[in-house]
Amino acid sequence: MCSNGTNSCISTDLEPSGRYLASAVVYGLVLAVGLPLNTLSLWILLRTHGVRSPCAVLMVNLAVSDLLLALSLPLRVYFYATLRWPFGAATCTVALMVFRVNIRTSCIFITLISVDRMIALACPLRSRSLRTSGCALKSCAVVWILITILCIPEIIRLYGALEGCPNIPCFEIQALSKSSRVVSLSQAIFLLVLLLVNIVSTVVVVIVLRNRPSAGAAKVNNKMNVILIFVVNMLVFIIFFLPFTLQLLTYSESNCGETILALVCLASVNCCLDPLIYYFSLDSFWQDKGTRQTDVGTYSLSRSMQMS
């Protein structure tokens, strides 16, 4: 369903269909998996790693972003299961914006994690003053503040269009005004830039690992684990964010139908896969210059970073 490009009240009655039922099932599964996984991941990160390394700081913020998305999913499940929205315009606006904030912050934090580890591997000694918990905390604070500020015009536009409307088709809304095209294209370009940064980081890491001498099975496995970290990041981007991004680039008032709604559903699954990033990042290892690892199964990535 596409809304018109005016600021008039957006209201419609939806007829039951298989797509709505499928959406309710998918969001329900994401909720059932993503909520406990991200709650557990956040607890482990804070309890075991805290904010003692920049990598851990970035992962804590990524887990918070995913947890916020998971907490909003019950509203999506209810809407698609009943095709009713009795919660008002304000709640609809918050639920829609939580998803948009998650997409933007997740992409940024995943990219920062990749860049942080690339720098730690390529320049372990020179990056010590830059790669600190304090710098990571400040970077995350800037990300949250900037994303919040940039979302304010969208919030005002969404709430103004929905206020006082009966039968709000909350999660079916795609276009509320002509300015939505500018927002969609800007977000798509921004996500593509972040994808490019991830690709460059991966290439740099592969080159560094190839030039680094390997001796013994432990070091070979170590290199493979490092590459796996970046592969997981790239898969999250390519599978969950890239289709949504490409659809935004072709956005128009006439094609904002079921395709983008399906891709929104797909993008929400990323909160279930992000815990894999935590696992590979904090339980995988690499050999920094001047650092001797006597037990590959003992030292985590975050500790090797701190020792670099």
Locate the domains of the chain by residue range: 18-301
Q: Reply yes or no on whether the pLDDT at 291 is more than 70.
A: no
Asked if 240 and 272 count as a contact pair (C-beta separation under 8 A), the reply is no
Whole-model pTM? 0.80
**pLDDT tens string 260-276:** 778 888 888 888 888 77
- Average pLDDT for the chain: 76
Second CATH level (architecture) for the domain 18-301: Up-down Bundle (1.20)
**pLDDT tens string 198-228:** 899 888 888 887 776 554 444 444 667 677 7
- State percent of the chain over pLDDT 90: 15
What was the pLDDT predicted at 251?
Answer: 59
Residues near 2 by beta carbon (within 8 Å), at least 6 away in sequence: 174, 175, 253, 254, 256, 257
Q: For the chain, give me the number of helices (H) and strands (E)? A: 10, 0
**pLDDT tens string 231-240:** 888 888 888 8
The CA distance from 277 to 106, in Å, is 12
